[in-house]
Structure 1
């Protein structure tokens, strides 16, 4: 990487770049993009920040190359959502760094467990989380639930 990865909190000016990055990633996985299924991306500040949640971006220079959010579920549990890395930057440790950053935030605020849900068919995504010490706790036909506890 030419520039050093910077992970910072989402800012209002990031809106369109972040929305596009996440939707492009979903389009790659599903083969199509249905924007109506992702209303939280229309106003990230309202959906996450105003709701007291955490949304971060990973930047190389001025380009946003990764995203991630942490939603507090209560009782010491948070959920990872919107973990996405722009395609040319995958397998460079960006997603791993964003997740580590979010795990640190969760630990600092006293959480004891982080969960993440993904599609059963996305084997490489499940393997990615398992390499980060997440353990499967639930599986259905459509989804896999993984958790990290401490």
Structure 2
């Protein structure tokens, strides 16, 4: 795949979603988990989504159980957890792997486009974030410790 919009992913209801549906939007793509120290970032993600969605911004959350087994729940249970605790309104996708031979191809693409510290492709932990411009170009990768509100200025530049 040579372009972000070439990918199709699966939402938390099991439906195929072409990323072409997000063309011309600024995206923040995040691997998430429900039992992580960074889980409260769901609230920050919801806040920035609400703040910028009318300007063409979307958050795409992909639960992942590869880090400390912190996302053991089913897709349905994850959605329930997010609704109950954070009342999220941004798009939640099916649980995926983000590293290794079974990694979601989208994450292989993202990590190739925006490498981590010391040029590493591998995602180190939950809540790694990728900022994508309206043309589908991966602009920047953020570490787990980078809170969503800290990314707001970078989002604004792309809107």
Q: TM-score, normalised by structure 2?
A: 0.30
The answer to which structure has the higher strand fraction is 1
Higher relative contact order (CA 8 A, sep 6+): 2
Q: Which TM-score applies when normalising by structure 1? A: 0.31
